Amino acid sequence: MITCPNCAHANPDTATECEACYTPLPAMIDCPSCGATVSAVAHFCGQCGHDLQQVQPQPSAQPPAPPAQSLAPTVIGAGAETGTLAETSMPQPSVPAESVSLPPDVPPAMAVPSMAVPSIPEGASDPVEAVNSQAIPDLPNPTAQSEADLPQNAPDLPPGVSSDAGDVSVLENAQPPSNPNASTRLQQTAARLFHVQSNNVIELPLHLSVIHIGKPNGQIPPDIDLSGVTDSDIVSRVHADIRVEGDTFYVEDLGSSNGTYVNNLPLQKGDRHRLRPGDRIALGKGDKVSFLFQFS
């Protein structure tokens, strides 16, 4: 459990903020010496006294790599003729046959179809007229071919769209479908209190953000009047509030005489507890006026 430094509320180990006062909780780490859970900003372990700020030894640097072996210079042989150098043995790198990768086969170049150049008669006076006079082959009509490839049965168009192939336009009279739920506002989660002693159910009002629990008085009239329940004498006139924030519900003690208990744990004055389905709320000591929080 992580204890809140602000209100001392016990929170689960996985919590990042206090469930009661919403104060950010400090991060926790394990002691490297004894394994106890301590604060990440602590200097010493509270169990074994280990120094948590001790600097870890840095790994030793790797020794420098030996310098590469220099090649012996080429020298001129003593008995060699002028202009010839003595042969020196140079190490040749060995390459395994398996590691040699050959480039993929290059596909043969595509053959470009030759264009027939019309011949010009020798006796023609104008070369342009001679070329135009030769027969030009008929080219296929792309429009006719594209129309032939189209399916015979065109798909049905949605209402409000014209079937013209050249221009598809929306009719002026077409109206978008109406959304019957457009004006429906977001519905709030409904909750209720199940009275353990009488098996009665009290629905929490949806239109209130603060629900007062108590008995009739001249200061704060109760939204949930408990003056008629058994053992109502242990319930204060201004006992507790249930606060609603969206889909989240909180219970808060207002300084009642006999206290408010959540799951058998006392709730301090002014502290808020986030309610979850199944939480048991007891107004007063002895668990005589108890409720179970439920979602409707």
- The answer to the question of residue 77 being in a domain is no
Tally of structural domains, the chain: 2
Task: Give the pLDDT mean for 110-122.
Answer: 56
- The answer to the question of residue 72 being in a domain is no
Please provide the average confidence, as pLDDT, over all residues in the chain.
72
- The answer to the question of residue 161 being in a domain is no
- The answer to the question of residue 261 being in a domain is yes
pLDDT value of residue 170: 43
Q: Largest alpha-carbon pair distance within the chain? A: 132
* Res. 266 pLDDT band, cuts 50 70 90: very high
pLDDT value of residue 107: 57
* Res. 184 pLDDT band, cuts 50 70 90: very low
pLDDT score of 102 more than 80: no
Q: Which of 267, 293, 261, 277 is nearest to 196 (CA)?
A: 293
CATH number at residue 260: 2.60.200.20
- The answer to the question of residue 250 being in a domain is yes
- The answer to the question of residue 99 being in a domain is no
pLDDT score of 271 more than 80: yes
Q: What's this model's pTM, rounded to 2 decimal places?
A: 0.39
pLDDT score of 293 more than 70: yes
Q: Which structural domain, as residue segments, surrounds residue 33?
A: 1-53
